[in-house]
Structure 1
Amino acid sequence: MAQEFDTVIRWTGNRGDGTRSYRGYDRTWDIAAPGKPVIHCSNDPMLGGDPTKMNPEDLLLSALSACHMLWYLHLASAAGVVVTGYQDQPVGQGETLASGAGRFLSAELRPEIEVAAGTDLEEAAAIHGRIHEVCFIARSVNFPVTCAPVFRQI
């Protein structure tokens, strides 16, 4: 089944002279989608971006983590694993070449998952191994993604 996803990306960094000079404009933009809050973005702070705003690398890593989480919750529910809390602090490793071209080399998801007391933690952990077969974002990236979950029974 084909799907279509759409957003609007609007550059907000024109200080009045557009791109007349390299340092004369900001690398900021807004992401908008119908009926959803606007996300204000900037490029990586290493490249002069605003460190208080999301950048493309943050967004990609967050999308990867969120997709994994949503599939985990779905598969856990189907397996009878009761999840009561989920938080991830994923880390992406990248490189930037002398030319300025960059890319992700890898990403590690580090979810901390709260499960009901008595949960079979081996079964809960095994679910992670099945997610990349179905996760839209993980199936779309060209770098390895690993997962190092930590479980806490409550």
Structure 2
Amino acid sequence: MGHSYTSRIVWTGNRGDGTATYRGYDRTWDIAVPGKTVIPCSNDPLLGGDPGKMNPEDLLLSALSACHMLWYLHYAADAGIGVLAYEDEPEGVGEAGPGGAGRFVSATLRPRITVRAGADLEKAQAIHGRIHEVCFIARSVNFPVSCEGVFTVEGAG
């Protein structure tokens, strides 16, 4: 069974003359999916983009991390592991080839997960290894994704 996803991208970078010159327009746009919050975006700051706006690389890395998190929470609930907090600061490594063509070569997820006292930490850690078998985003990328999860136990410390 297939799934269909849609998005709406609206270029916002016309300064008045469109693309009459290479430096005469902004590389900005909105993700404006009807019924959802608009996300203002720009290209990578290394290419002159606005560092205060999301860029495609940010969005891909965030989607990868969020997909992992959602599956982690699902599997933890199934295993009886009480997750109380979850946050991640993933890192993607990219490279640029001749002519400026770039790509991700790897990503590392670094979730920090707080679990309820008494949780089986070995079982909690093992869940990470199962996720890339099912995560839609991780299964869709062509670069390796690793996970370095760290756990905190509620009330420990």
Q: Same fold (TM over 0.5)?
A: yes
**How far is 1:39 from its partner?**
0.2
Structure 1 residue 35 displacement after superposition? 1.1
Displaced runs of 4+ in structure 1, greater than 4 A?
A: none
Q: Which runs of 5+ in 2 are unaligned?
A: none
> Helix, strand or coil: the match of 1:52?
coil
- Name 2:35's counterpart in structure 1: 35
By how many angstroms is 1:34 displaced?
Answer: 2.1
| Identity across the alignment (%) | 71
The residue that corresponds to 2:95 in the other structure is 95
RMSD, aligned CA: 0.5
What whole-Å deviation, never above 9, does each CA across 1:29-59 have from its counterpart, x for those lacking one?
0001121100000000000000000000000
- Distance in 2 of aligned mates of 1:90 and 1:39: 20
Aligned ranges for residues 45-124 of structure 1 at < 5 Å?
45-124=45-124
TM-score, normalised to structure 1, is: 0.99
1:134 counterpart residue number: 134
Equivalent residues, number: 154
Q: TM-score, normalised by structure 2?
A: 0.97
Report the CA distance between 1:63 and its aligned residue. Answer: 0.1
Matches of 1:95 and 1:79, distance apart in 2: 39
Letter in 1 for 2:96: T
Mapped partners of 1:153, 1:32: distance in 2: 40
Determine if the alignment matches structure 1 residue 2 to structure 2 residue 2: yes
